[in-house]
Amino acid sequence: MKIYNNMSMSKIHKILFVCLGNICRSPAAQGVFQSIVDRNGRADDFMVDSAGTYSGHRGQLPDRRMRSAASHRGYDLTHRARPVSVTDFLEFDLIIAMDDSNFTDLMHLSPSVESSRKIKRMADYFTGQSMTYVPDPYYMGHEGFELVLDLLENACGNLYDSLAAGK
Ligand code: 4NP
């Protein structure tokens, strides 16, 4: 079933970003992508959320180090961590894993072959990067959080462009 925006009758894109804890990479991806959407005046055409494959941080704000690094780039991260649920595979059109481990976990959680096709890797949207995944910054220093934001800004920009162009 396609959900349409009443104003433009264009399809609403529903995107879920997923990492392990949902306190570093995926809420940052959500914030970066939402900011691109808002900057382009397309808030009515996108629904953006994030979740984790591990539920241990449920209800928490993003990690203080990630909030701080993101805030310096103009992103206010206010998401509360939550685990991925089976209904996410029905609700969202695109489910984007930050690394290969998240991808494999999502494939195991997916309730159907059809919903498995919604699962992508963030690195699928990288351009000009030597990295092939978004690394977990949890045990890294400040530079790890900056690297994650650099990769997310690159991938989110490309993802937005491809969806906005209708590809
Ligand atoms: P994230 O980072 O998956 O990018 O949110 C992590 C946060 C917490 C843990 C692991 C990764 N942890 O094990 O608590």
DSSP per residue, 107-150 = HHH-SSHHHHTTEEEGGGG--S-S-SS----TTS-HHHHHHHHH
Answer yes or no: is pLDDT of 2 > 60: no
Answer yes or no: is pLDDT of 7 > 80: no
36 Cα to the center of ligand 1, angstroms: 24
23 Cα to the center of ligand 1, angstroms: 6
Residues written for the chain: 167
Residue 48 main-chain phi, psi, to 5 deg: -125, 135
Answer yes or no: is pLDDT of 141 > 70: yes
Whole-angstrom Cα distance, residue 29 to residue 21?
13
The per-residue pLDDT for range 75-116, each reduced to its tens digit, is: 999 999 999 999 999 999 999 999 999 999 999 999 999 999
Overall average pLDDT of the 57-76 stretch:
98
Query: What atom of ligand 1 comes closest to residue 102's alpha carbon?
Result: 3
Task: Give yes or no for residue 22 CB within 6 A of ligand 1.
Answer: yes
Catalytic residue IDs: 19, 25, 136
Look up the pTM and report it. 0.95
pLDDT class for 11, splitting at 50, 70, 90?
confident
Whole-angstrom Cα distance, residue 38 to residue 109?
31
